[in-house]
């Protein structure tokens, strides 16, 4: 088997899978890749979005993968795509048909869109860069907020705080008017803002009923010219721990930063280890990997309301690298 002789650095867990997928790489992020999946004769173009098990903290990717992280994020994204189809169309085509066997569970076939050049952030709580901006100016993205807010406090209502997509470094916060200029259509941008807030509000209410606070999240939208009835489509991953801040509702306390539902073990360990938070990120010890993996699986199970192995079984996920292609939903996978 070819898989068995791939060096660890190029395995599915830690690196791009172009070598084994044999599809053209369109785009790659810190922890996932996008491939050109071609098109049926006369059909629309499709992409294959693949989530790796790589994890980043403080903007640096650790050399140690978190087993199942990519499959948890993909399963959560599909859960939310299915739950929010009444709010807006999405780019999901299939998690099974057209998804190559080695990446089942961690990859989605999606419609290729004309992506809008803005990141659509919605905040229900004041934290992170929003908290910094508020402390400095009393506003976030041009939206004036009440005086006297404390760190991590819930906002009177969710706010739309778009940003530009920076190729390198951090995205730059912009106001609605600047976002409308970049998109070139103010009415479309108003619809994108309204849909973003509706998606956030719907998801935050569901998450809260599962004991999880959805503090903020980021969406990316595109236009599908082949579907004149539903030109606006939400793409990317939606409402995953990598595109959102999830906090445990237990222990939520205003006045300081909150622990991350998924990454807090890694951050706590890194702080004690003495990492200066500058690249390269250190290797993660086995017990911290296991604790973090358990948190991702717990996030899936709490939010999706089913065992994680149900996702693996539905998608025919296999043991990667196993001779003979492995088998579905291995014992102990969840
Ligand atoms: C697209 N990205 C960012 C996402 C990566 C990079 N449906 C679409 N149509 C056209 N382009 C994109 C999408 C989506 N989603 C998104 N880059 C291109 C991105 C995931 C992995 F490496």
Candidates 47, 90, 243: which one to mutate for ligand 1, based on the most atoms within 8 Å of Cβ? 47
**Each residue of 48-63: pLDDT tens digit?**
999 999 999 999 999 9
Least trusted range by pLDDT, from 66-80, 198-212, 227-241: 227-241
115 lines ligand 1 (CB under 6 A): yes
**Each residue of 267-303: pLDDT tens digit?**
999 999 999 999 999 999 999 999 999 999 999 999 9
29 lines ligand 1 (CB under 6 A): yes
33 lines ligand 1 (CB under 6 A): yes
Question: Residues of the chain with pLDDT > 90: what percent?
Answer: 83
Candidates 30, 34, 48, 111: which one to mutate for ligand 1, based on the most atoms within 8 Å of Cβ? 34
Instruction: Please tell me the predicted confidence (pLDDT) of residue 15.
Output: 57
Least trusted range by pLDDT, from 109-123, 130-144, 306-320: 306-320
224 lines ligand 1 (CB under 6 A): no
What separation in Å is there between the alpha carbon of 224 and the centre of ligand 1?
14
Q: Which residues, at least 6 apart from 78, have a Cβ–Cβ distance to it below 8 Å?
A: 92, 95, 108, 311
- Residue 90's nearest CA partner among 235, 244, 239, 238 is 235
Q: Is the peptide bond before 280 cis (omega within 30 degrees of 0)?
A: yes
What separation in Å is there between the alpha carbon of 242 and the centre of ligand 1?
15
223 lines ligand 1 (CB under 6 A): no
The pTM of this model reads 0.93
Q: Is the pLDDT of residue 1 over 70?
A: no
**Each residue of 257-269: pLDDT tens digit?**
999 999 999 999 9
Average pLDDT over residues 210-234: 94
Q: Is the pLDDT of residue 14 over 60?
A: no
Q: Is residue 229 classed as helix, strand or coil in its secondary structure?
A: coil
238 lines ligand 1 (CB under 6 A): no
Question: What is the pLDDT of the chain when averaged over all its residues?
Answer: 91
- Annotate 27-40 with DSSP letters as a single string: EE-SSEEEEEEE--
Instruction: Please tell me the predicted confidence (pLDDT) of residue 11.
Output: 45
Report the C-alpha gap between 140 and 127 in whole angstroms: 11
Q: List the residue whose alpha carbon is closest to atom 22 of ligand 1.
A: 28
Instruction: Please tell me the predicted confidence (pLDDT) of residue 43.
Output: 85
Q: List the residue whose alpha carbon is closest to atom 14 of ligand 1.
A: 236
Least trusted range by pLDDT, from 11-25, 180-194, 205-219: 11-25
Least trusted range by pLDDT, from 15-19, 30-34, 118-122: 15-19
Residue 33 CA: which ligand 1 atom is closest?
22
Q: Is 199 exposed, middle or buried (0-12, 13-18, 19+ CB in 10 A)?
A: buried
Q: List the residue whose alpha carbon is closest to atom 17 of ligand 1.
A: 27
129 pLDDT tier (thresholds 50, 70, 90): very high
Q: Is the pLDDT of residue 156 over 80?
A: yes
- Residue 192's nearest CA partner among 77, 78, 88 is 88
Instruction: Please tell me the predicted confidence (pLDDT) of residue 225.
Output: 87
Candidates 49, 93, 108, 227: which one to mutate for ligand 1, based on the most atoms within 8 Å of Cβ? 49
What separation in Å is there between the alpha carbon of 34 and the centre of ligand 1?
6
More confident call, 20 vs 102: 102
More confident call, 41 vs 96: 96
Instruction: Please tell me the predicted confidence (pLDDT) of residue 324.
Output: 55
């Amino acid at each position: 088997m070819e898989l068995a002789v791939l060096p660890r650095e190029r395995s599915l867990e830690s690196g791009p899978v172009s070598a084994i997928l044999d599809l053209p790489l369109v785009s790659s992020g810190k922890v996932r890749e996008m491939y050109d999946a071609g098109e049926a004769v006369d059909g629309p173009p499709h992409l294959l979005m693949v989530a790796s098990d790589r994890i980043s903290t403080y903007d640096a990717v650790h050399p140690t993968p978190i087993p199942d992280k990519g499959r948890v994020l993909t399963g959560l994204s599909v859960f939310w795509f299915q739950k929010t189809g009444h709010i807006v169309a999405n780019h999901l085509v299939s998690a099974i048909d057209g998804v190559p066997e080695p990446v089942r569970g961690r990859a989605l076939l999606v419609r290729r869109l004309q992506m809008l050049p803005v990141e659509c952030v919605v905040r229900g709580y004041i934290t992170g860069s929003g908290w910094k901006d508020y402390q400095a100016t009393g506003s976030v993205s041009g939206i004036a907020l009440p005086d006297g807010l404390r760190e991590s406090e819930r906002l009177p209502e969710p706010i739309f705080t778009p940003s530009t997509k920076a190729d390198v470094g951090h995205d730059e916060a912009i106001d609605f008017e600047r976002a409308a200029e970049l998109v070139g259509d103010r009415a479309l941008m108003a619809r994108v803002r309204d849909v973003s807030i509706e998606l956030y509000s719907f998801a935050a209410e569901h998450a809260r009923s599962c004991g999880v606070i959805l503090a903020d999240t980021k969406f990316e939208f595109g236009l599908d010219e082949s579907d004149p009835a539903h030109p606006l489509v939400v793409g990317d991953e939606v409402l995953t721990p990598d595109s959102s801040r999830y906090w445990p509702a237990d222990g939520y306390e205003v006045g300081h930063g909150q622990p991350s539902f998924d990454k807090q073990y890694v951050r706590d360990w890194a702080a004690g280890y003495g990492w200066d938070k500058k690249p390269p990120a250190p290797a993660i010890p086995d017990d911290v990997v296991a604790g973090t993996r358990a948190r991702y699986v717990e996030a899936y199970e709490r939010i999706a309301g089913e065992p994680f192995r149900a996702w693996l079984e539905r998608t025919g996920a296999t043991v990667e690298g196993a001779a003979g292609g492995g088998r579905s939903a291995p014992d102990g996978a969840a």
